[in-house]
Structure 1
Amino acid sequence: MSLFNTVHLQGIFNKLDKNGDGLVSIDELEWFLNVIGMDVKRDELELLIGEESLNYVDFLLFYETLIKGNIFEQEKRKNEREDEILERDLQKAFRVFDLNDDGFISCEELQSALSRLGLWDESCGQDCRQMINVYDSNSDGLLDFEEFKDMMLLTG
Protein backbone atom coordinates (compact mmCIF):
# COMPACT_ATOMS: atom_id res chain seq x y z
CA MET A 1 0.00 0.00 0.00
CA SER A 2 1.38 3.38 -1.00
CA LEU A 3 1.07 6.57 1.03
CA PHE A 4 0.98 8.71 -2.11
CA ASN A 5 -0.45 8.22 -5.57
CA THR A 6 1.46 9.15 -8.75
CA VAL A 7 -0.10 12.64 -8.85
CA HIS A 8 1.21 13.33 -5.34
CA LEU A 9 4.59 11.86 -6.21
CA GLN A 10 4.84 13.95 -9.38
CA GLY A 11 4.14 17.05 -7.30
CA ILE A 12 6.77 16.09 -4.75
CA PHE A 13 9.27 15.35 -7.50
CA ASN A 14 8.60 18.72 -9.16
CA LYS A 15 9.04 20.56 -5.85
CA LEU A 16 12.31 18.77 -5.17
CA ASP A 17 13.60 19.46 -8.69
CA LYS A 18 14.53 23.04 -7.79
CA ASN A 19 16.44 23.80 -10.99
CA GLY A 20 13.87 22.17 -13.30
CA ASP A 21 16.36 19.84 -14.99
CA GLY A 22 14.07 16.81 -14.60
CA LEU A 23 16.33 15.30 -11.93
CA VAL A 24 16.28 15.15 -8.16
CA SER A 25 19.79 15.18 -6.70
CA ILE A 26 20.86 13.13 -3.72
CA ASP A 27 21.22 16.38 -1.75
CA GLU A 28 17.60 17.34 -2.53
CA LEU A 29 16.41 13.85 -1.67
CA GLU A 30 18.42 13.81 1.58
CA TRP A 31 16.93 17.18 2.54
CA PHE A 32 13.38 15.98 1.85
CA LEU A 33 13.76 12.69 3.74
CA ASN A 34 15.23 14.51 6.74
CA VAL A 35 12.37 17.05 6.66
CA ILE A 36 9.80 14.26 6.83
CA GLY A 37 11.60 12.75 9.82
CA MET A 38 13.86 10.13 8.28
CA ASP A 39 17.40 10.40 9.56
CA VAL A 40 19.31 9.54 6.40
CA LYS A 41 22.81 10.47 5.38
CA ARG A 42 24.16 11.27 1.94
CA ASP A 43 26.47 8.24 1.89
CA GLU A 44 23.54 5.93 2.70
CA LEU A 45 21.53 7.38 -0.19
CA GLU A 46 24.50 7.10 -2.55
CA LEU A 47 24.79 3.41 -1.71
CA LEU A 48 21.06 2.86 -2.06
CA ILE A 49 20.62 4.82 -5.28
CA GLY A 50 23.99 4.30 -6.93
CA GLU A 51 23.77 7.58 -8.84
CA GLU A 52 24.02 11.33 -8.18
CA SER A 53 20.40 12.03 -9.14
CA LEU A 54 17.08 10.42 -10.01
CA ASN A 55 14.78 11.06 -12.93
CA TYR A 56 11.05 10.76 -12.29
CA VAL A 57 10.87 7.03 -13.10
CA ASP A 58 13.84 6.30 -10.83
CA PHE A 59 12.23 8.49 -8.16
CA LEU A 60 9.05 6.37 -8.37
CA LEU A 61 11.10 3.17 -8.10
CA PHE A 62 12.99 4.60 -5.14
CA TYR A 63 9.73 5.52 -3.45
CA GLU A 64 8.26 2.06 -4.03
CA THR A 65 11.46 0.53 -2.64
CA LEU A 66 11.04 2.63 0.49
CA ILE A 67 7.43 1.58 0.88
CA LYS A 68 8.01 -2.10 0.12
CA GLY A 69 11.06 -2.13 2.36
CA ASN A 70 8.93 -0.46 4.96
CA ILE A 71 11.75 1.99 5.59
CA PHE A 72 9.30 4.69 6.66
CA GLU A 73 7.79 2.39 9.27
CA GLN A 74 11.19 1.15 10.45
CA GLU A 75 12.40 4.74 10.84
CA LYS A 76 9.22 5.64 12.72
CA ARG A 77 9.69 2.69 15.11
CA LYS A 78 13.35 3.64 15.60
CA ASN A 79 12.36 7.22 16.45
CA GLU A 80 9.66 5.99 18.84
CA ARG A 81 12.21 3.75 20.63
CA GLU A 82 14.63 6.67 20.88
CA ASP A 83 11.83 8.86 22.27
CA GLU A 84 10.98 6.20 24.87
CA ILE A 85 14.62 5.94 25.95
CA LEU A 86 14.90 9.73 26.18
CA GLU A 87 11.69 9.89 28.24
CA ARG A 88 13.00 7.25 30.68
CA ASP A 89 16.35 9.06 30.97
CA LEU A 90 14.58 12.34 31.66
CA GLN A 91 12.40 10.68 34.31
CA LYS A 92 15.54 9.35 36.03
CA ALA A 93 17.14 12.81 35.91
CA PHE A 94 13.95 14.37 37.27
CA ARG A 95 14.04 12.02 40.26
CA VAL A 96 17.58 13.22 41.06
CA PHE A 97 16.13 16.71 41.62
CA ASP A 98 12.71 15.75 43.05
CA LEU A 99 14.14 14.82 46.43
CA ASN A 100 10.82 14.33 48.26
CA ASP A 101 9.30 12.45 45.30
CA ASP A 102 6.20 14.64 45.14
CA GLY A 103 6.36 15.16 41.38
CA PHE A 104 7.73 18.69 41.60
CA ILE A 105 11.13 20.33 41.88
CA SER A 106 11.16 23.18 44.38
CA CYS A 107 13.81 25.87 44.71
CA GLU A 108 15.21 24.14 47.78
CA GLU A 109 15.37 20.76 46.02
CA LEU A 110 17.06 22.32 43.02
CA GLN A 111 19.68 24.03 45.17
CA SER A 112 20.28 20.88 47.22
CA ALA A 113 20.64 18.64 44.17
CA LEU A 114 22.93 21.10 42.41
CA SER A 115 25.05 21.34 45.57
CA ARG A 116 25.34 17.53 45.81
CA LEU A 117 26.40 17.44 42.14
CA GLY A 118 28.96 20.17 42.76
CA LEU A 119 27.14 22.55 40.45
CA TRP A 120 25.98 25.13 43.00
CA ASP A 121 28.26 27.94 44.02
CA GLU A 122 26.87 30.31 46.64
CA SER A 123 29.36 32.97 45.61
CA CYS A 124 28.10 33.19 42.03
CA GLY A 125 24.89 34.85 43.19
CA GLN A 126 22.55 32.54 41.30
CA ASP A 127 18.97 32.50 42.44
CA CYS A 128 17.26 29.15 42.04
CA ARG A 129 13.87 30.87 41.90
CA GLN A 130 14.99 32.72 38.78
CA MET A 131 16.27 29.46 37.33
CA ILE A 132 12.92 27.78 37.94
CA ASN A 133 10.86 30.76 36.73
CA VAL A 134 12.42 30.56 33.28
CA TYR A 135 10.69 27.19 32.66
CA ASP A 136 7.79 27.38 35.12
CA SER A 137 5.02 27.67 32.53
CA ASN A 138 2.16 27.64 35.05
CA SER A 139 3.89 30.07 37.47
CA ASP A 140 3.44 27.90 40.56
CA GLY A 141 7.08 28.29 41.62
CA LEU A 142 7.78 24.60 40.98
CA LEU A 143 8.91 22.52 38.03
CA ASP A 144 6.74 19.56 37.15
CA PHE A 145 8.07 16.82 34.87
CA GLU A 146 6.83 18.42 31.65
CA GLU A 147 8.42 21.76 32.54
CA PHE A 148 11.64 19.95 33.50
CA LYS A 149 11.56 18.07 30.21
CA ASP A 150 11.10 21.32 28.28
CA MET A 151 14.04 22.80 30.16
CA MET A 152 16.29 19.82 29.44
CA LEU A 153 15.34 19.58 25.77
CA LEU A 154 15.63 23.32 25.15
CA THR A 155 18.97 23.70 26.87
CA GLY A 156 20.50 20.34 26.01
Structure 2
Amino acid sequence: MSPLTKNDLRRIFEKLDKNGDGLVGLDELNCLLDRTGVQLSLEELESLVGTPCLGFDEFIFFYDSISNQKTKTEAENDEESDIAKAFKVFDLNGDGFISSEELQSVLVRLGLLDERSGKDCTNMIYYYDTNMDGMIDFQEFKNMMFPTIS
Protein backbone atom coordinates (compact mmCIF):
# COMPACT_ATOMS: atom_id res chain seq x y z
CA MET A 1 0.00 0.00 0.00
CA SER A 2 1.47 3.34 -0.99
CA PRO A 3 1.35 6.29 1.42
CA LEU A 4 -1.31 8.93 0.98
CA THR A 5 -0.22 12.16 -0.69
CA LYS A 6 -0.92 15.60 0.69
CA ASN A 7 -3.68 15.97 -1.94
CA ASP A 8 -5.23 12.67 -0.81
CA LEU A 9 -5.16 13.88 2.77
CA ARG A 10 -6.67 17.23 1.75
CA ARG A 11 -9.61 15.44 0.08
CA ILE A 12 -10.13 13.22 3.14
CA PHE A 13 -9.93 16.23 5.44
CA GLU A 14 -12.49 18.15 3.39
CA LYS A 15 -14.87 15.15 3.40
CA LEU A 16 -14.56 14.89 7.18
CA ASP A 17 -15.06 18.65 7.66
CA LYS A 18 -18.80 18.47 7.05
CA ASN A 19 -19.59 22.04 8.19
CA GLY A 20 -16.69 23.57 6.22
CA ASP A 21 -15.15 25.43 9.17
CA GLY A 22 -11.62 24.17 8.40
CA LEU A 23 -11.60 21.91 11.43
CA VAL A 24 -12.23 18.21 11.93
CA GLY A 25 -13.77 17.30 15.26
CA LEU A 26 -12.76 14.21 17.12
CA ASP A 27 -16.17 12.65 16.56
CA GLU A 28 -15.68 13.00 12.79
CA LEU A 29 -12.14 11.66 13.01
CA ASN A 30 -13.28 8.78 15.18
CA CYS A 31 -15.89 7.79 12.57
CA LEU A 32 -13.12 7.55 9.97
CA LEU A 33 -10.92 5.53 12.32
CA ASP A 34 -13.83 3.20 13.09
CA ARG A 35 -14.30 2.55 9.37
CA THR A 36 -10.61 1.64 9.05
CA GLY A 37 -10.79 -0.77 11.97
CA VAL A 38 -9.23 1.46 14.65
CA GLN A 39 -11.52 1.45 17.66
CA LEU A 40 -10.92 4.25 20.19
CA SER A 41 -13.18 6.01 22.61
CA LEU A 42 -13.47 9.78 22.21
CA GLU A 43 -11.53 10.15 25.47
CA GLU A 44 -8.70 7.95 24.18
CA LEU A 45 -8.63 9.84 20.91
CA GLU A 46 -8.58 13.23 22.64
CA SER A 47 -5.75 12.01 24.87
CA LEU A 48 -3.86 10.88 21.78
CA VAL A 49 -4.53 14.02 19.75
CA GLY A 50 -4.40 16.51 22.61
CA THR A 51 -7.07 18.82 21.21
CA PRO A 52 -10.85 18.61 20.57
CA CYS A 53 -10.45 19.36 16.85
CA LEU A 54 -7.77 19.40 14.16
CA GLY A 55 -6.86 21.90 11.48
CA PHE A 56 -5.41 20.54 8.24
CA ASP A 57 -1.76 20.74 9.38
CA GLU A 58 -2.63 18.99 12.63
CA PHE A 59 -4.55 16.37 10.63
CA ILE A 60 -1.44 15.69 8.52
CA PHE A 61 0.68 15.45 11.68
CA PHE A 62 -1.83 13.02 13.18
CA TYR A 63 -1.81 10.91 10.00
CA ASP A 64 1.99 10.82 10.00
CA SER A 65 2.09 9.83 13.65
CA ILE A 66 -0.29 6.87 13.27
CA SER A 67 0.95 5.57 9.94
CA ASN A 68 4.20 3.74 9.52
CA GLN A 69 5.62 5.53 6.52
CA LYS A 70 9.19 4.23 6.77
CA THR A 71 10.27 2.07 3.92
CA LYS A 72 12.00 -1.21 4.65
CA THR A 73 15.33 0.34 3.64
CA GLU A 74 14.84 3.32 5.98
CA ALA A 75 13.94 0.99 8.85
CA GLU A 76 17.00 -1.17 8.14
CA ASN A 77 19.23 1.93 8.04
CA ASP A 78 17.83 3.10 11.39
CA GLU A 79 18.43 -0.35 12.87
CA GLU A 80 21.99 -0.44 11.49
CA SER A 81 22.64 3.00 12.98
CA ASP A 82 21.34 1.89 16.39
CA ILE A 83 23.55 -1.20 16.31
CA ALA A 84 26.56 0.94 15.35
CA LYS A 85 25.89 3.26 18.32
CA ALA A 86 25.67 0.28 20.67
CA PHE A 87 28.91 -1.13 19.24
CA LYS A 88 30.69 2.17 19.93
CA VAL A 89 29.64 1.97 23.59
CA PHE A 90 31.68 -1.24 23.92
CA ASP A 91 34.55 -0.26 21.59
CA LEU A 92 36.21 1.95 24.18
CA ASN A 93 39.41 2.64 22.25
CA GLY A 94 37.64 3.16 18.91
CA ASP A 95 39.72 0.59 17.00
CA GLY A 96 36.69 -1.16 15.51
CA PHE A 97 36.93 -4.19 17.76
CA ILE A 98 35.65 -5.17 21.19
CA SER A 99 38.25 -6.92 23.31
CA SER A 100 37.54 -9.00 26.38
CA GLU A 101 38.88 -6.15 28.52
CA GLU A 102 36.58 -3.58 26.88
CA LEU A 103 33.57 -5.87 27.26
CA GLN A 104 34.41 -6.46 30.92
CA SER A 105 34.92 -2.74 31.58
CA VAL A 106 31.56 -1.75 30.12
CA LEU A 107 29.63 -4.58 31.77
CA VAL A 108 31.20 -3.73 35.15
CA ARG A 109 30.32 -0.04 34.70
CA LEU A 110 26.75 -1.03 33.90
CA GLY A 111 26.65 -3.19 37.01
CA LEU A 112 26.01 -6.31 34.96
CA LEU A 113 29.23 -8.09 35.83
CA ASP A 114 31.53 -8.51 38.81
CA GLU A 115 35.05 -7.12 38.25
CA ARG A 116 36.58 -10.54 38.85
CA SER A 117 34.62 -12.14 35.99
CA GLY A 118 37.17 -11.60 33.24
CA LYS A 119 37.04 -15.24 32.24
CA ASP A 120 33.29 -14.88 31.52
CA CYS A 121 34.03 -12.07 29.06
CA THR A 122 36.75 -14.12 27.38
CA ASN A 123 34.27 -16.98 26.97
CA MET A 124 31.63 -14.58 25.54
CA ILE A 125 34.15 -13.21 23.05
CA TYR A 126 35.26 -16.73 22.10
CA TYR A 127 31.67 -17.85 21.50
CA TYR A 128 30.87 -15.04 19.00
CA ASP A 129 34.35 -14.58 17.50
CA THR A 130 33.77 -16.35 14.20
CA ASN A 131 37.09 -15.35 12.62
CA MET A 132 39.00 -16.42 15.78
CA ASP A 133 41.01 -13.19 16.16
CA GLY A 134 40.19 -12.92 19.87
CA MET A 135 37.97 -9.84 19.45
CA ILE A 136 34.46 -8.99 18.28
CA ASP A 137 34.21 -6.90 15.10
CA PHE A 138 31.07 -5.05 14.04
CA GLN A 139 29.62 -7.95 12.01
CA GLU A 140 30.20 -10.38 14.87
CA PHE A 141 28.60 -7.87 17.25
CA LYS A 142 25.50 -7.68 15.02
CA ASN A 143 25.32 -11.47 14.93
CA MET A 144 25.68 -11.58 18.70
CA MET A 145 22.99 -8.95 19.36
CA PHE A 146 20.57 -10.03 16.63
CA PRO A 147 21.38 -13.50 15.29
CA THR A 148 18.99 -13.12 12.32
CA ILE A 149 20.54 -9.83 11.07
CA SER A 150 23.51 -10.26 8.77
Q: Whose helix proportion is higher, 1 or 2? A: 1
Larger-Rg structure:
2
Give the TM-score normalised by the residue count of structure 2. Answer: 0.49
